[in-house]
């Protein structure tokens, strides 16, 4: 019973057998009551005839002829046999419950004496009659009255129920036969139906089991259009996503090890220099320590960048709250002003649509996103200015950073956001960096349901734009 198809077949068979059994009981009951009703009608017909004859006989002539004639008529075996007509049994009793006459087919058997309770004059009874041909019999007892309504005799009219029982038992045999045959047919049919439904699932299971993390390139490519086909399609799509996620992870690990190796090699080389000549040459000591400090700082920056990236990519786990975007931008710009001024740059925040754009975000991550963009703008711009503008566009909040730096190559615009990507060495290598800043910007934008893009400005410099979902204006109206 462990396989699904056996269980399905068994459940179907049990259900159908239950339905057929209930139907059989209902048919049995209905058939029996129809046949009994028919028998009752037959009995009532004969009893009516006897009643009419008794009434006629009792009103014929004067006493004592009336009662005498009645007694003669009701005890006449020929008349009783005529009424009995083969399949009914008749017995007439006096009101004192002595037998007056019987139809000859009753033989030595007699109906038990019966006097209907006061107020009723007829009753049907199922009796078991002894004698030569014992059997179940339905008996109608009726009190016969004269014209004045006085009881004069009691008629018992019986009909054997053998025929009813025979009919019912034959019907039962047929029903049991149908039940057994249909049960066998249903068990076989439902086994094969279940098998045809479940076999593809089994094949899917073994195909899936064969695909381990080492064979992620395999696809099921099933052409079926049914539910199992859809499942296989969904599975292939999931494998696509998994495969690219694995590839991204591998790329990240190899990029990260590669990037971490350079500062580590420099630190190591300088430490060896210190070991060998540090004691003798103070200049070497100074230079080595400087290089070690610089490279370990770079390492620390890279590690914290990777941690932020991991946090940003955690997605739903980030707690978000409503915050006013313009306020955050003003704050980030205010903090950056000193660094900009040190390079002779101007930095300004603008919000032409007012100061009340609400976004649902993690304040720390959003600040980090803005800081990275502002830092880059200051880092790569030699002279001129940086403008940070907050606008509303089609119900979204857009932050745009425009600088007067070297600009970017439009073909490279998308790759800038890849992890560890650093642009043109002529300007990127001359400034500090890890190549993680813009990857962090993109991840933070994504977990907030936003996007980020970059393009060169025709007049020189570049623009980085972040678009985030904003709360409706009505929500922000009050603030
Ligand atoms: P990093 O700044 O550490 O190099 P980022 O991921 O922040 O790393 O930036 C990736 C690359 O994008 C940079 O190396 C640089 O070439 C380019 N870039 C970023 N911001 C600017 C900008 N404001 N102007 C010109 N180029 C930029």
pLDDT of 396 = 94
181 in any annotated domain: no
213 in any annotated domain: no
Helix (H) or strand (E) segment spanning residue 327: helix 325-342
- Main-chain dihedrals φ then ψ at residue 108, nearest 5 degrees: -85, 0
Q: Is 421 in the pocket of ligand 1 (CB under 6 A)?
A: yes
Looking at the structure, tell me whether residues 244 and 323 fall in a common domain.
Answer: no
Q: How far is the CA of 373 from the centre of ligand 1 (A)?
A: 9
Q: Is 422 in the pocket of ligand 1 (CB under 6 A)?
A: yes
Looking at the structure, tell me whether residues 348 and 303 fall in a common domain.
Answer: no
Atom index in ligand 1 nearest the CA of residue 406 equals: 25
Which range marks the domain in which residue 15 is found? 4-168
283 in any annotated domain: yes
Q: Is 440 in the pocket of ligand 1 (CB under 6 A)?
A: no
pLDDT of 369 = 93
* Cα(266)–Cα(218) distance, integer angstroms: 43
pLDDT of 133 = 43
Q: Is 437 in the pocket of ligand 1 (CB under 6 A)?
A: yes
Looking at the structure, tell me whether residues 142 and 15 fall in a common domain.
Answer: yes
Pocket test for ligand 1, best of 256, 263, 308, 416 (most atoms within 8 A of CB): 416
Establish how many alpha carbons lie within 13 A of residue 441's alpha carbon, considering only the half-sphere containing its beta carbon.
Answer: 28
Q: Is 368 in the pocket of ligand 1 (CB under 6 A)?
A: no
* Cα(345)–Cα(339) distance, integer angstroms: 9
89 in any annotated domain: yes
Write out the chain's pLDDT in tens, 479 residues.
Answer: 557 777 777 887 788 878 888 888 888 888 888 888 888 888 888 988 888 888 887 776 555 555 677 788 888 888 888 888 767 889 999 888 889 899 988 888 888 777 666 555 556 666 655 444 446 778 888 888 877 778 888 888 888 877 777 888 888 888 888 878 888 888 888 888 888 878 888 888 887 888 766 677 888 888 888 888 888 889 889 889 888 888 878 877 887 888 788 889 999 999 998 888 878 888 889 999 999 998 899 889 888 888 887 777 766 667 889 999 999 999 999 999 999 999 999 999 999 988 789 999 989 889 989 999 999 999 999 999 999 999 999 889 999 999 999 999 888 888 899 888 887 654 445 667 778 889 889 988 998 999 999 999 999 999 999 999 998 875 544 44
Q: Is 380 in the pocket of ligand 1 (CB under 6 A)?
A: yes
pLDDT digits (tens, 9 = 90+) for 346-360: 999 999 988 789 999
pLDDT digits (tens, 9 = 90+) for 315-329: 666 788 999 999 999
* Cα(106)–Cα(102) distance, integer angstroms: 7
Atom index in ligand 1 nearest the CA of residue 462 equals: 24
Q: How far is the CA of 423 from the centre of ligand 1 (A)?
A: 6
Q: Is 408 in the pocket of ligand 1 (CB under 6 A)?
A: yes
Which of 266, 283, 311 represents a domain boundary (last residue)? 311
- Main-chain dihedrals φ then ψ at residue 236, nearest 5 degrees: -60, -40
C-alpha closest to that of 441 among 346, 367, 354: 367
Atom index in ligand 1 nearest the CA of residue 436 equals: 6
Q: Is 298 in the pocket of ligand 1 (CB under 6 A)?
A: no
Among protein residues, the one with the nearest Cα to ligand 1's atom 15 is 423
Q: Is 443 in the pocket of ligand 1 (CB under 6 A)?
A: no
Looking at the structure, tell me whether residues 31 and 135 fall in a common domain.
Answer: yes
Q: Is 259 in the pocket of ligand 1 (CB under 6 A)?
A: no
Which of 142, 168, 194 represents a domain boundary (last residue)? 168
Looking at the structure, tell me whether residues 144 and 21 fall in a common domain.
Answer: yes
Query: Residue 231 maps to which CATH number?
Result: 1.10.287.130
Q: How far is the CA of 419 from the centre of ligand 1 (A)?
A: 11
Q: How far is the CA of 372 from the centre of ligand 1 (A)?
A: 9
C-alpha closest to that of 298 among 323, 255, 266: 266
Q: Is 406 in the pocket of ligand 1 (CB under 6 A)?
A: yes
Atom index in ligand 1 nearest the CA of residue 434 equals: 3
Q: Is 442 in the pocket of ligand 1 (CB under 6 A)?
A: no
177 in any annotated domain: no
pLDDT of 331 = 94
Looking at the structure, tell me whether residues 9 and 131 fall in a common domain.
Answer: yes
Please indicate, yes or no, whether the overall pTM of this predicted structure exceeds 0.75.
Answer: no
Looking at the structure, tell me whether residues 51 and 11 fall in a common domain.
Answer: yes
Strands 451-456 and 99-102: unpaired
135 in any annotated domain: yes
Q: Is 377 in the pocket of ligand 1 (CB under 6 A)?
A: yes
Query: Residue 94 maps to which CATH number?
Result: 3.30.450.20
451 in any annotated domain: yes
Which of 292, 311, 330 represents a domain boundary (last residue)? 311
Among protein residues, the one with the nearest Cα to ligand 1's atom 8 is 435
**Cβ partners under 8 Å of residue 103, min gap 6:** 77, 80, 81, 83, 84, 88, 89, 90, 91
Query: Residue 457 maps to which CATH number?
Result: 3.30.565.10
* Cα(102)–Cα(74) distance, integer angstroms: 9
399 in any annotated domain: yes
Counted domains in the chain = 3
Q: How far is the CA of 186 from the centre of ligand 1 (A)?
A: 71
Percentage of the chain with pLDDT > 70? Answer: 89
Q: Is 450 in the pocket of ligand 1 (CB under 6 A)?
A: no
**Both structure tokens of 422:** 């650093």
Q: How far is the CA of 465 from the centre of ligand 1 (A)?
A: 14
**Residues 16/181, Cβ–Cβ less than 8 Å:** no
**Both structure tokens of 385:** 């200015």
**Residues 435/421, Cβ–Cβ less than 8 Å:** yes
Looking at the structure, tell me whether residues 80 and 129 fall in a common domain.
Answer: yes
Looking at the structure, tell me whether residues 244 and 376 fall in a common domain.
Answer: no
**Cβ partners under 8 Å of residue 208, min gap 6:** 220, 235
Q: Is 405 in the pocket of ligand 1 (CB under 6 A)?
A: yes
Looking at the structure, tell me whether residues 408 and 336 fall in a common domain.
Answer: yes
Q: How far is the CA of 221 from the centre of ligand 1 (A)?
A: 42
Among protein residues, the one with the nearest Cα to ligand 1's atom 17 is 423
Looking at the structure, tell me whether residues 284 and 429 fall in a common domain.
Answer: no
Q: How far is the CA of 253 from the centre of ligand 1 (A)?
A: 21
Looking at the structure, tell me whether residues 304 and 322 fall in a common domain.
Answer: no
Q: How far is the CA of 466 from the centre of ligand 1 (A)?
A: 15
Q: For residue 398, what are the β-bridge partners? A: 391, 467
Q: Is 305 in the pocket of ligand 1 (CB under 6 A)?
A: no
* Cα(451)–Cα(445) distance, integer angstroms: 6
pLDDT digits (tens, 9 = 90+) for 115-152: 666 555 556 666 655 444 446 778 888 888 877 778 88
């Amino acid at each position: 019973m462990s396989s699904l198809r056996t269980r399905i077949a068994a459940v179907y068979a049990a259900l159908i057998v239950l339905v057929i059994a209930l139907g059989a009981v209902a048919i049995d009951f209905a058939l029996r009551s129809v046949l009994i009703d028919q028998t009752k009608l037959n009995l009532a017909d004969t009893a009516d005839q006897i009643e009419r004859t008794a009434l006629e006989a009792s009103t014929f002539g004067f006493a004592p002829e009336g009662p005498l004639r009645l007694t003669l008529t009701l005890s006449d075996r020929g008349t009783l046999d005529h009424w009995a007509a083969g399949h009914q049994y008749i017995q007439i009793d006096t009101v004192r419950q002595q037998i007056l006459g019987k139809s000859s087919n009753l033989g030595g058997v007699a109906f038990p004496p019966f006097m209907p309770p006061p107020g009723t004059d007829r009753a049907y009874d199922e009796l078991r009659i002894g004698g030569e041909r014992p059997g179940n019999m339905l008996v109608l007892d009726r009190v016969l009255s004269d014209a004045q309504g006085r009881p004069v005799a009691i008629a018992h009219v019986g009909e054997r129920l053998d025929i009813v029982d025979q009919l019912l038992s034959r019907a039962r045999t047929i029903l049991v036969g149908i039940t057994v045959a249909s049960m066998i047919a249903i068990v076989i049919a439902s086994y094969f139906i279940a098998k045809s439904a479940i076999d593809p699932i089994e094949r899917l299971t073994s195909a899936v089991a064969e695909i381990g993390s080492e064979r992620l390139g395999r696809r099921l490519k099933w052409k079926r259009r049914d539910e199992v086909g859809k499942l296989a399609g969904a599975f292939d799509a999931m494998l696509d996503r998994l495969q690219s996620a694995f590839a991204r992870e591998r790329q990240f690990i190899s990029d990260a090890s590669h990037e971490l190796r350079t500062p580590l090699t420099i630190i190591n080389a300088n430490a060896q220099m210190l070991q060998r000549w540090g004691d003798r040459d103070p200049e070497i000591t100074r230079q080595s320590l400087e290089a070690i400090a610089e490279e370990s700082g770079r390492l620390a920056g890279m590690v914290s960048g990777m941690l932020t990236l991991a946090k940003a990519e955690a997605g739903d786990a980030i707690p978000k709250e409503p915050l006013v975007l313009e306020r955050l931008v003003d704050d980030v710009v205010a903090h950056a002003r000193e660094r900009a001024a040190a390079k002779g740059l101007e930095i300004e925040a603008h919000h032409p649509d007012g100061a009340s754009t609400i976004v649902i975000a993690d304040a720390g991550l959003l600040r980090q996103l803005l800081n990275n963009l502002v830092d880059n703008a200051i880092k790569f711009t030699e002279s001129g200015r940086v403008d940070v503008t907050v606008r509303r566009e089609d119900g979204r909040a857009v932050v745009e950073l425009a600088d007067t730096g070297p600009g970017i190559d439009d073909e490279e615009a998308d790759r800038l956001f890849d992890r560890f990507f650093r642009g043109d060495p002529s300007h990127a290598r001359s400034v500090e960096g890890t190549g993680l800043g813009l990857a962090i910007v993109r991840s933070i934008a994504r977990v907030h349901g936003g996007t980020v893009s970059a393009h060169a400005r025709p007049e020189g410099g570049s623009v980085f734009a972040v678009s985030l979902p904003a709360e409706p204006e009505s929500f922000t109206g009050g603030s």
